Amino acid sequence: MLGATREDIRILPSFSFMLKKPKSRGRFCTRYGETAVLRLEKFNDGLAILESERVSIEILAALQGITDIDEGEIQFFAAGAVATDAYYFLTGDKRAIRSLATSTECQPIAEQIAGHIICLEMIIASLICSHGFDYVKAHVVPARTCDTALMSAFGSGDLAESKNVIAGLIAYIDELRALPINLLAPIP
């Protein structure tokens, strides 16, 4: 989808530790299942850490008081607002996207990272285009309860139809693109 390699991916310094903390790991396992957490741990192993010098302290402070933007997104948005090279944020957190795009105090930051966010629905739609609907459905349906949009789009489970799923995904994407500042990347 992006032509990115593992070497291009950055994670927050706290993410690896969060996966190892019993309380956090337990929450992840409850929400996503043990198999998904094990796959995430394997994927996460060896990824580069987002360098702290790439994060603007001023932007971090400006974002701290914004409701619906959690600490992880705050750190990524702050890094993106000072980035000079090509980058994308991949997130399933639509509340954070909405908050950043609609908060007047975040407008300068939102304008800096506009066009650099790829939401989960964009990823799923792209996977359908590249791997086919049946392949994606087989992988998403068992885990669809972990995300409201996926639950809505694939709510019929194994009976879900391509046209309905794609229409549901596009509706979520279009809703985010219609916010006062379109933060989404210009890809399908």
pLDDT tens sequence across 50-65: 776 566 777 888 888 7
- pLDDT confidence of 188, banded at 50, 70, 90? low
**C-beta of residue 124 within 8 angstroms of C-beta of residue 140:** yes
Looking at residue 14, its pLDDT comes to 76
Tokens, residue 174: 């279009």
Range of 13-22, 64-73, 75-84, 117-126 with top mean pLDDT: 117-126
Q: Where are the domains of the chain?
A: 1-49, 121-177
- pLDDT at position 118 is 93
First to last CA, the chain: 10
Q: Higher model confidence: residue 2 or residue 176?
A: 176
Q: What is the pTM of this model?
A: 0.85
| C-alpha–C-alpha distance, residues 188 and 179, integer Å | 17
| pLDDT tens-digit series, residues 75-114 | 888 877 777 667 888 888 999 999 999 998 888 889 988 9
DSSP 51: P
**Residue from 21, 173, 17, 10 nearest 78 by CA:** 10
As a residue count, the chain comes to: 188
